[in-house]
Chains A and B, each alone.
Chain A
Amino acid sequence: MNAFVAILRRDLLLAMRRKSEMLTALFFFMIVVSLFPLGIGPETALLRRIAPGVLWVAALLAAMLSLNRLFAADHQDGTLEQMALSPTPLALLVSGKVLAHWLTAGLPLVLLAPVLGLQFDLSSRALGILMLSLLLGTPLLSLIGAIGAALTLGVRGGGVLLSLLVLPLYIPALIFGAGAVEADMAGLGAGGHLSLLGALLALGLFFAPWATTAALRIALE
C-alpha cells in the first residue's frame, strides 16, 4: 500500500510541476464545447437537445489527449522497470497511476462541465445529472485508456493508434453517459443509465488494471 501511495503522490507532484500539460487538455475541453453554441446560434431547443452528446464527446477527446504520456515517460526513463521489479503487485501500482490520471485529467472535466453546460441552456437538474454521469464515466475513461496506453507503448506513431484503439472502447460510456442526461430531460429518469454506467465502472476497476499490467509486461520484454 505504501508503494501505491508513493506512485500516486509522485504522479500528482509531477502533474503539479508540469501544469501546462494538464491545462492544455482542460482548455481543449472548454474550447471544443464552446464552439458548438457559437456555431449553431441561439436556438435553445436545439442546443439543449445536443448538449449531453457534445459535452460527453468533448470529455472523451480531452481525456484521451493526456493518455499517451501515461506510461511513455516511465518507460523511457526506466521507472517502469523499477515498478515491475517492486515486491508490490504491478497491478496495484498501475491503479495508483490510473487514479492520478483521473484526478488530473478526469476530475477537472467533471467540475468544469456544469459551467460549460450553462451555454447550452441546461436546467440545474440536468446539469446535476451530467456531473453525476461524468463522475461515474471519467474514471472508466482513465481505466480503459490505460489499457490502450500500455498496448501502444513503444510503438511508433502510437498516438494515432491509441485513439483508434481506445475510442471504440469508449462507446458504451458515451452511450450511457449522454443517455442519462437525455433520458432525464425526456422525463424518463436517469437511474437506469447511471446504474449501467456504475456497473461498467465496477467491471473496469476490477479488470482494467490486470489487462494493463499484462500489456506492460509484454512491452517490457
Chain B
Amino acid sequence: MLQAHGLACVRGDRRLFSGVDLSVAPGQWLQVEGANGAGKTSLLRILAGLSPAAEGRIEWEGQPVAEGRDDFHARLLYLGHAPAIKDDLSALENLQTSAAVSGRPLDEATALTALRRIGLKGREDLPSRVLSQGQKRRVALARLLCGQARLWILDEPFVALDVGAVDMLCGILDEHIGRGGMLIFTSHQAVQLQGNGARLELTK
C-alpha cells in the first residue's frame, strides 16, 4: 500500500501543487488529472522517488520510502515520458537489458512471448530506430508483461498508441489490478478500467 500525505512540489519560485494526499491499496488504481503544467509528471516522479518532495511524506507498506528505498524500488515499475529505448538495440535486447537493470533478469523465451503479446511479432530483432513511435512505446510497455512489480507508476501510457493498442493496454492494466496490483497513472483520456479506482485532480 502506497500512501502520501501533504505532498508539495516547488519548481523555481513557483508552487505547482501542495497538500496532496493520496493512498493506493492493492487492487486499486489512481488516475492523476490536471491541466498541462499542473505537475502531473512531477507528482509521479516524486512518488517514484526520482525527485524529493518539497513537503510531505510518502509511505510504502507503512514505512517511510526513504528508509527502504531498494526494497521499494524492487516492487516498483515506473515508465516515464521517455521510453528508455536504445535506438541501436533490438526490441528483444532492449527488453532484456531493462529487465536485468531493474533486477528481474528475463530469459529469451519469456521476453519473446511478451513482445509478441504486445503486438511486435516479427519485429523482435529489428533495431529500434526503424520502429515507429507507437511501436517504441510498445517495447517499453512490454516490461509490464514480464515483471512481478506490485506498484506500477505510468506517465501517459496511452500516448502514441493506436485504438487497438489502447484496448490491449487497458486489458493489461485490468489484469494487474485484478491480481491485486496497484496502479498510478496520468492520462488525458477518459479510461475505463475495472476495479476500485479514483481520480485525483491537481489544482493550484
Task: State the A residues within 8 Å of B (CB).
Answer: 2-3, 5-7, 9-10, 13-14, 17-18, 76-79, 81-89, 93, 220-221
B49 contacts A by Cβ under 8 Å: yes
Residues of chain B in range 47-90 having any CB-CB distance to chain A below 8 Å: 48-52, 70-71, 73-74, 76, 78, 80-89
CB distance from A86 to the nearest CB of B (A): 5
Write 8 A-B pairs (CB below 8 A) sorted by A numbering: A3-B100, A6-B105, A10-B97, A13-B88, A77-B84, A82-B78, A82-B101, A85-B49
CB–CB A18/B100 < 8 A: no
Cα distance A33–B78 in the bound complex, in angstroms:
47
Q: Does B98 belong to the interface (CB within 8 Å)? A: yes
- Choose among B50, B52, B127 the residue with the greatest number of A CB atoms under 10 Å from its CB: B50
Which residues from chain A contact B73 at a C-beta distance below 8 Å?
Answer: 85-87
By a CB distance below 8 angstroms, the chain B residues around A2 are 100, 103, 105
Q: Verify if B102 is at the interface (C-beta below 8 Å from A).
A: yes
Which of B52, B84, B87, B88 lies in contact with A81, CB distance below 8 A? B84
Indicate if B174 sits at the interface (CB-CB under 8 A). no
**For the complex, what is the distance from the CA of A17 to the CA of B93, rounded to whole Å?**
13
Given contacts A2-B103, A10-B97, contact A85 B48 (CB under 8 A): yes
The residue of chain A having its C-beta at the shortest distance from the C-beta of B71 within the complex is A87
The one of B49, B51, B88, B103 in contact with A17, judged by C-beta atoms closer than 8 angstroms, is B88
> Are A14 and B103 in touch, CB under 8 angstroms?
no
Min CB distance, B65 to chain A, in Å? 12
* Chain B residues with CB under 8 A of A88: 101, 103
CB distance from B139 to the nearest CB of A (A): 12
**Inter-chain pairs besides A78-B84, A86-B73, A88-B101, 14 sampled, C-beta below 8 Å:** A3-B100, A3-B103, A6-B96, A6-B97, A6-B100, A14-B86, A14-B89, A77-B87, A81-B50, A83-B101, A84-B50, A85-B102, A86-B102, A87-B103
Q: Chain B's nearest CB lies how many Å from the CB of A95?
A: 14
The residue of chain B having its C-beta at the shortest distance from the C-beta of A82 within the complex is: B84
Residues of B within 8 Å of A78, CB to CB, are: 80-84
- CB contacts (< 8 Å) of B81 on chain A: these are 78
Q: How far is the CA of A60 from the CA of B84 in the complex (A)?
A: 31
Contact of B103 among A76, A86, A220 (CB under 8 A): A86
Given known A79-B86, A81-B50, A220-B50, contact A3–B101 (CB-CB < 8 A):
yes
- Cα distance A87–B51 in the bound complex, in angstroms: 16
B82-A81 in contact (CB<8A) = yes
Instruction: Determine whether the beta carbon of A81 is less than 8 Å from that of B80.
Output: yes
Residues of A within 8 A of B71 (CB): 87
* B83 proximity list for chain A (CB < 8 A): 77-78
Which of chain B's residues have a CB closer than 8 A to the CB of A85? 48-50, 73, 76, 78, 102
A79 to B80 Cα, complex, angstroms: 10
Knowing A6-B97, A10-B97, A88-B101 are in contact, say whether A77-B86 is a contact too (CB < 8 A).
Answer: yes
In the complex, the answer to whether A81 meets B103 with C-beta atoms within 8 Å is: no
What's the least CB distance linking B133 to chain A, in Å?
13
Output the nearest chain B residue to A5 by Cβ-Cβ distance: B100
Quote the shortest CB–CB distance from B164 to chain A (angstroms): 25
The 3 closest A-B pairs by CB, nearest first: A78-B82, A6-B100, A78-B84
Q: Which residues on the B side are within 8 Å of A83 (C-beta)? A: 101
Instruction: Name A77's closest neighbour in chain B (CB-CB).
Output: B82
Q: Is the CB of A221 within 8 A of B52?
A: yes
Decide: B101 and A7 in contact? CB cutoff 8 A.
yes
The distance in angstroms between the C-alpha atoms of A10 and B87, with both chains bound, is 12
Question: Do the beta carbons of A86 and B101 come within 8 Å of each other?
Answer: yes
In the assembled complex, the CB of B80 is this many whole angstroms from the nearest CB of chain A, namely 5
Instruction: Please measure, in the bound complex, the distance between the C-alpha atom of A81 and the C-alpha atom of B98, giving whole angstroms.
Output: 11
| Nearest A-chain residue to B84, judged by Cβ | A78
Please, how many angstroms separate the alpha-carbon atoms of A210 and B7 in the complex? 29
B5-38 contact mask (Cβ, 8 Å, vs A): 1 or 0: 0000000000000000000000000000000000
